Amino acid sequence: MQDLKNIVIINGSPKVSLSSTSNCLSKVCEKSMKSDALQVLRVNVRESLTHKGWDEAFEMMLKADALVFIFPLYVFCLPGMMMRFLQDYFAFFRKKGGDAGKTKVYAVVNCGFPEADINREAVEVIRCFSKKIGADFRFGVLVGGGGMFTDVTENASFMKKTFTELENSFRLMARDIQGSLSEPLRGISVQIGIPRKLYLFMADKGWISVARKNGLKKKQLYARPYIN
């Protein structure tokens, strides 16, 4: 019988609302990975920061067989809040004399741009962090068109193929955690199946529509409040 492996999924979305892409990806990740051989634990970075403090989360991470960081791309790299989490974990890890030699690390990064590859540098930051704690970075999952990943679209026909790709990448991750993959993968890109032009068009219309709901006219979106 295989040893039970502990996986900690770290949801690094700074959003206050629960309906973020990272929340959606975390749920899909957990659902795809759960099995008799894997125990999945969850850490919510924002919730820990605002309510509980990070020590409980850090203790879980110290004992984990695998860490899966799931977060959005902010201004082409990790959000400030996620950097605070990693910096503080690094300090905690050193203070505790942690040994991450057998911990496998994965990064799942999503962005609002349709191109998944824009997330590549953020994945490399997690690789760099893993190296600093002596952990074994395995691979990243790069997700483009993040706004399309919601609990509602999960069942939409036009997103079916994309969600299947996503689930497959998490199943691969689960196999890797159990030691089935001999070599780490280079990274998996998950793109949405909507033409780029259409996605951008819909997004632009969406901003105007939501601004109108806030009582703003389109031209007000172009305000320049800081010109002296």
Interface with another protein (CB under 8 A): 13-16, 20, 46, 72, 74-81, 83-84, 86-87, 113-115, 118, 121, 124-126, 128-129, 132, 200, 203-204, 207, 210-211, 214, 216, 220-228
In the bound state with another protein, the residue whose beta carbon lies nearer, of 36 and 226, is 226
In the bound state with another protein, the residue whose beta carbon lies nearer, of 129 and 139, is 129
In the complex, the smallest distance separating the C-beta of residue 33 from another protein, rounded to whole angstroms, is 25
CB 119 within 8 A of CB 143: yes
Q: Alpha carbon of 228 to those of 17, 29, 219, 220: distances in Å?
A: 35, 48, 20, 18
Q: State the alpha helices, DSSP H only, in the chain.
A: 21-33, 45-47, 55-62, 80-95, 120-132, 160-177, 196-213
Could you tell me how many residues make up the chain? 228
Please give, one letter per residue, the 3-state secondary structure of 59-105. Answer: HHHHCCCEEEEEEECECCECCHHHHHHHHHHHHHHHHCCCCCCCCEE
In the bound state with another protein, the residue whose beta carbon lies nearer, of 41 and 77, is 77
In the complex, the smallest distance separating the C-beta of residue 204 from another protein, rounded to whole angstroms, is 5
In the bound state with another protein, the residue whose beta carbon lies nearer, of 5 and 46, is 46
In the complex, the smallest distance separating the C-beta of residue 218 from another protein, rounded to whole angstroms, is 10
In the complex, the smallest distance separating the C-beta of residue 155 from another protein, rounded to whole angstroms, is 24
